[in-house]
Structure 1
Protein backbone atom coordinates (compact mmCIF):
# COMPACT_ATOMS: atom_id res chain seq x y z
CA UNK A 1 0.00 0.00 0.00
CA UNK A 2 1.14 3.52 -0.69
CA UNK A 3 1.04 6.53 1.56
CA UNK A 4 -2.37 7.91 2.39
CA UNK A 5 -5.40 7.61 4.59
CA UNK A 6 -7.24 4.30 4.97
CA UNK A 7 -10.50 3.68 3.13
CA UNK A 8 -13.67 4.05 5.22
CA UNK A 9 -14.57 0.39 4.65
CA UNK A 10 -12.49 -2.67 3.93
CA UNK A 11 -12.23 -4.15 0.47
CA UNK A 12 -13.79 -7.45 1.54
CA UNK A 13 -16.61 -5.71 3.44
CA UNK A 14 -18.86 -6.03 0.43
CA UNK A 15 -22.01 -7.80 1.63
CA UNK A 16 -23.74 -4.87 3.27
CA UNK A 17 -25.85 -2.96 2.69
CA UNK A 18 -27.74 -5.72 0.94
CA UNK A 19 -29.35 -3.45 -1.69
CA UNK A 20 -26.04 -2.02 -2.84
CA UNK A 21 -24.48 -5.49 -2.83
CA UNK A 22 -27.32 -6.81 -5.00
CA UNK A 23 -26.90 -3.91 -7.40
CA UNK A 24 -23.15 -4.54 -7.63
CA UNK A 25 -23.74 -8.19 -8.44
CA UNK A 26 -26.80 -7.96 -10.73
CA UNK A 27 -26.28 -4.63 -12.47
CA UNK A 28 -22.74 -3.36 -11.90
CA UNK A 29 -22.99 -0.74 -14.66
CA UNK A 30 -25.81 1.00 -12.73
CA UNK A 31 -23.79 1.10 -9.50
CA UNK A 32 -20.78 2.44 -11.39
CA UNK A 33 -23.04 5.12 -12.87
CA UNK A 34 -24.40 6.04 -9.43
CA UNK A 35 -20.89 6.27 -8.01
CA UNK A 36 -19.85 8.50 -10.92
CA UNK A 37 -22.84 10.76 -10.20
CA UNK A 38 -22.06 10.82 -6.48
CA UNK A 39 -18.47 11.84 -7.20
CA UNK A 40 -19.72 14.82 -9.24
CA UNK A 41 -22.68 15.73 -6.98
CA UNK A 42 -22.28 14.40 -3.42
CA UNK A 43 -25.77 15.53 -2.40
CA UNK A 44 -27.21 13.20 -5.05
CA UNK A 45 -30.02 15.62 -5.84
CA UNK A 46 -30.27 13.89 -9.19
CA UNK A 47 -29.82 10.14 -8.59
CA UNK A 48 -28.45 9.34 -12.00
CA UNK A 49 -27.55 5.70 -12.51
CA UNK A 50 -27.94 5.61 -16.27
CA UNK A 51 -25.30 8.06 -17.39
CA UNK A 52 -21.98 8.13 -19.19
CA UNK A 53 -20.26 6.12 -16.46
CA UNK A 54 -22.91 3.42 -16.71
CA UNK A 55 -22.72 3.29 -20.51
CA UNK A 56 -18.93 3.12 -20.51
CA UNK A 57 -18.87 0.30 -17.97
CA UNK A 58 -21.59 -1.61 -19.84
CA UNK A 59 -19.97 -1.25 -23.24
CA UNK A 60 -16.51 -2.28 -22.02
CA UNK A 61 -17.87 -5.24 -20.06
CA UNK A 62 -18.98 -6.86 -23.33
CA UNK A 63 -15.37 -7.25 -24.40
CA UNK A 64 -14.00 -8.13 -20.95
CA UNK A 65 -12.55 -4.69 -20.27
CA UNK A 66 -14.83 -3.75 -17.34
CA UNK A 67 -11.76 -3.32 -15.13
CA UNK A 68 -10.62 -0.19 -17.01
CA UNK A 69 -13.35 2.21 -15.80
CA UNK A 70 -13.19 0.63 -12.32
CA UNK A 71 -9.44 1.12 -12.16
CA UNK A 72 -9.72 4.73 -13.36
CA UNK A 73 -12.55 5.54 -10.92
CA UNK A 74 -10.59 4.01 -8.04
CA UNK A 75 -7.55 6.11 -8.91
CA UNK A 76 -9.72 9.23 -9.07
CA UNK A 77 -11.27 8.51 -5.67
CA UNK A 78 -7.84 7.79 -4.14
CA UNK A 79 -6.43 11.00 -5.58
CA UNK A 80 -9.39 13.18 -4.50
CA UNK A 81 -9.32 12.00 -0.88
CA UNK A 82 -5.66 11.10 -0.38
CA UNK A 83 -6.39 7.41 0.19
CA UNK A 84 -3.86 4.63 0.39
CA UNK A 85 -3.21 2.44 -2.60
CA UNK A 86 -1.46 2.39 -5.96
CA UNK A 87 -2.27 2.09 -9.63
CA UNK A 88 -1.13 -1.53 -9.65
CA UNK A 89 -3.36 -2.31 -6.66
CA UNK A 90 -6.27 -0.54 -8.37
CA UNK A 91 -5.82 -2.72 -11.43
CA UNK A 92 -5.59 -5.95 -9.42
CA UNK A 93 -8.71 -5.17 -7.38
CA UNK A 94 -10.71 -4.13 -10.45
CA UNK A 95 -9.71 -7.30 -12.34
CA UNK A 96 -10.04 -9.83 -9.52
CA UNK A 97 -13.19 -8.67 -7.73
CA UNK A 98 -15.19 -5.99 -9.53
CA UNK A 99 -18.19 -6.34 -7.13
CA UNK A 100 -16.02 -5.62 -4.08
CA UNK A 101 -14.38 -2.73 -5.93
CA UNK A 102 -17.75 -1.21 -6.84
CA UNK A 103 -18.99 -1.60 -3.26
CA UNK A 104 -15.90 0.02 -1.77
CA UNK A 105 -16.17 2.98 -4.17
CA UNK A 106 -19.84 3.56 -3.34
CA UNK A 107 -19.35 3.17 0.42
CA UNK A 108 -16.39 5.56 0.40
CA UNK A 109 -18.34 8.27 -1.39
CA UNK A 110 -21.41 7.72 0.82
CA UNK A 111 -19.25 8.15 3.92
CA UNK A 112 -17.84 11.40 2.57
CA UNK A 113 -21.13 12.81 1.22
CA UNK A 114 -21.69 15.16 4.17
CA UNK A 115 -18.15 16.46 3.99
CA UNK A 116 -18.30 17.00 0.24
CA UNK A 117 -21.74 18.61 0.28
CA UNK A 118 -20.53 21.07 2.91
CA UNK A 119 -17.75 22.38 0.67
CA UNK A 120 -19.89 24.43 -1.68
CA UNK A 121 -18.23 27.74 -1.04
CA UNK A 122 -19.24 30.68 1.12
CA UNK A 123 -22.35 30.42 3.24
CA UNK A 124 -23.81 33.47 4.96
CA UNK A 125 -23.75 33.27 8.75
CA UNK A 126 -27.03 32.93 10.62
CA UNK A 127 -28.91 36.00 11.83
CA UNK A 128 -28.21 37.60 15.20
CA UNK A 129 -30.44 36.84 18.13
CA UNK A 130 -30.97 39.20 21.06
CA UNK A 131 -31.67 38.02 24.57
CA UNK A 132 -34.95 39.00 26.25
Structure 2
Protein backbone atom coordinates (compact mmCIF):
# COMPACT_ATOMS: atom_id res chain seq x y z
CA UNK A 1 0.00 0.00 0.00
CA UNK A 2 1.39 3.39 -1.02
CA UNK A 3 0.38 6.54 0.85
CA UNK A 4 1.05 10.24 0.36
CA UNK A 5 0.03 13.04 2.67
CA UNK A 6 0.05 16.70 1.65
CA UNK A 7 -0.43 19.19 4.46
CA UNK A 8 -1.50 22.21 2.51
CA UNK A 9 -1.99 24.73 5.29
CA UNK A 10 0.85 26.87 3.95
CA UNK A 11 0.03 26.78 0.24
CA UNK A 12 -1.48 30.07 -0.97
CA UNK A 13 -5.13 29.44 -1.85
CA UNK A 14 -4.66 30.82 -5.38
CA UNK A 15 -2.41 27.85 -6.21
CA UNK A 16 -3.67 25.22 -3.75
CA UNK A 17 -6.00 23.35 -6.10
CA UNK A 18 -3.39 23.30 -8.87
CA UNK A 19 -0.81 22.02 -6.37
CA UNK A 20 -3.19 19.26 -5.25
CA UNK A 21 -3.79 18.20 -8.87
CA UNK A 22 -0.05 18.11 -9.63
CA UNK A 23 0.64 16.16 -6.45
CA UNK A 24 -2.06 13.65 -7.33
CA UNK A 25 -0.71 13.12 -10.85
CA UNK A 26 2.82 12.60 -9.49
CA UNK A 27 1.58 10.14 -6.84
CA UNK A 28 -0.38 8.11 -9.39
CA UNK A 29 2.45 8.13 -11.93
CA UNK A 30 4.84 6.73 -9.31
CA UNK A 31 2.61 3.73 -8.59
CA UNK A 32 3.80 0.44 -9.99
CA UNK A 33 1.90 -2.83 -9.75
CA UNK A 34 -0.69 -2.29 -10.96
CA UNK A 35 -0.01 0.94 -12.78
CA UNK A 36 -2.84 3.47 -13.04
CA UNK A 37 -4.25 4.11 -16.51
CA UNK A 38 -4.85 7.64 -17.79
CA UNK A 39 -8.65 7.51 -17.37
CA UNK A 40 -8.33 6.48 -13.73
CA UNK A 41 -5.72 9.19 -13.17
CA UNK A 42 -7.97 11.83 -14.75
CA UNK A 43 -10.86 10.73 -12.53
CA UNK A 44 -8.72 10.89 -9.40
CA UNK A 45 -7.39 14.34 -10.33
CA UNK A 46 -10.94 15.59 -10.93
CA UNK A 47 -12.15 14.28 -7.56
CA UNK A 48 -9.13 15.76 -5.76
CA UNK A 49 -9.67 19.10 -7.49
CA UNK A 50 -13.32 19.20 -6.46
CA UNK A 51 -12.75 18.17 -2.84
CA UNK A 52 -9.83 20.57 -2.38
CA UNK A 53 -11.72 23.44 -4.02
CA UNK A 54 -14.67 22.80 -1.72
CA UNK A 55 -12.37 22.72 1.32
CA UNK A 56 -10.89 26.05 0.28
CA UNK A 57 -14.22 27.63 -0.58
CA UNK A 58 -16.49 26.24 2.14
CA UNK A 59 -14.24 24.54 4.68
CA UNK A 60 -12.15 27.30 6.16
CA UNK A 61 -9.50 27.83 3.50
CA UNK A 62 -7.06 25.11 4.55
CA UNK A 63 -6.92 21.40 3.89
CA UNK A 64 -4.87 18.27 4.23
CA UNK A 65 -4.90 15.83 1.32
CA UNK A 66 -4.17 12.14 1.78
CA UNK A 67 -3.83 9.76 -1.14
CA UNK A 68 -3.65 6.03 -0.54
CA UNK A 69 -3.23 3.32 -3.16
CA UNK A 70 -4.80 -0.01 -2.25
CA UNK A 71 -4.53 -3.07 -4.53
CA UNK A 72 -7.79 -2.28 -6.34
CA UNK A 73 -8.70 1.21 -5.07
CA UNK A 74 -7.36 4.73 -4.80
CA UNK A 75 -8.49 6.49 -1.65
CA UNK A 76 -8.70 10.28 -1.68
CA UNK A 77 -9.23 11.96 1.69
CA UNK A 78 -9.43 15.69 2.34
CA UNK A 79 -9.51 17.14 5.86
CA UNK A 80 -10.71 20.67 6.54
CA UNK A 81 -11.55 22.61 9.71
CA UNK A 82 -15.28 23.09 9.00
CA UNK A 83 -17.83 20.83 10.71
CA UNK A 84 -20.30 21.35 7.84
CA UNK A 85 -20.85 18.32 5.63
CA UNK A 86 -21.21 18.83 1.89
CA UNK A 87 -24.79 19.21 0.77
CA UNK A 88 -26.53 18.41 -2.43
CA UNK A 89 -27.76 21.50 -4.23
CA UNK A 90 -29.67 21.91 -7.41
CA UNK A 91 -26.97 22.75 -9.99
CA UNK A 92 -27.16 26.31 -11.24
CA UNK A 93 -27.38 25.95 -14.99
CA UNK A 94 -27.53 29.69 -15.70
CA UNK A 95 -25.83 31.63 -12.94
CA UNK A 96 -22.57 29.77 -12.60
CA UNK A 97 -22.80 29.44 -8.82
CA UNK A 98 -22.06 25.72 -8.75
CA UNK A 99 -23.89 22.77 -7.33
CA UNK A 100 -22.30 20.20 -9.65
CA UNK A 101 -19.30 19.07 -7.60
CA UNK A 102 -20.64 16.86 -4.82
CA UNK A 103 -23.01 14.93 -7.13
CA UNK A 104 -20.12 14.46 -9.57
CA UNK A 105 -17.81 13.12 -6.84
CA UNK A 106 -20.51 10.71 -5.71
CA UNK A 107 -21.03 9.55 -9.29
CA UNK A 108 -17.33 8.98 -9.99
CA UNK A 109 -16.50 7.26 -6.69
CA UNK A 110 -17.37 3.72 -5.66
CA UNK A 111 -18.13 5.16 -2.24
CA UNK A 112 -17.88 8.47 -0.39
CA UNK A 113 -17.97 9.24 3.30
CA UNK A 114 -17.93 12.25 5.58
CA UNK A 115 -16.40 11.78 9.02
CA UNK A 116 -16.83 14.50 11.65
CA UNK A 117 -14.04 14.96 14.17
CA UNK A 118 -14.75 15.52 17.88
CA UNK A 119 -12.18 18.32 17.97
CA UNK A 120 -13.84 20.00 14.98
CA UNK A 121 -13.56 19.69 11.26
CA UNK A 122 -14.18 16.72 9.03
CA UNK A 123 -12.68 14.31 6.54
CA UNK A 124 -14.30 13.68 3.18
CA UNK A 125 -13.17 10.44 1.56
CA UNK A 126 -13.78 8.99 -1.87
CA UNK A 127 -12.85 5.48 -3.00
CA UNK A 128 -12.04 5.23 -6.70
CA UNK A 129 -11.61 2.13 -8.79
CA UNK A 130 -7.98 1.47 -9.68
- TM-score normalised by structure 2 residue count: 0.25
Structure (1 or 2) with the larger CA radius of gyration: 1
Greater per-residue strand proportion? 2
- TM-score normalised by structure 1 residue count: 0.25
- Which of structures 1 and 2 has the larger relative contact order (alpha carbons within 8 angstroms, sep 6+)? 1
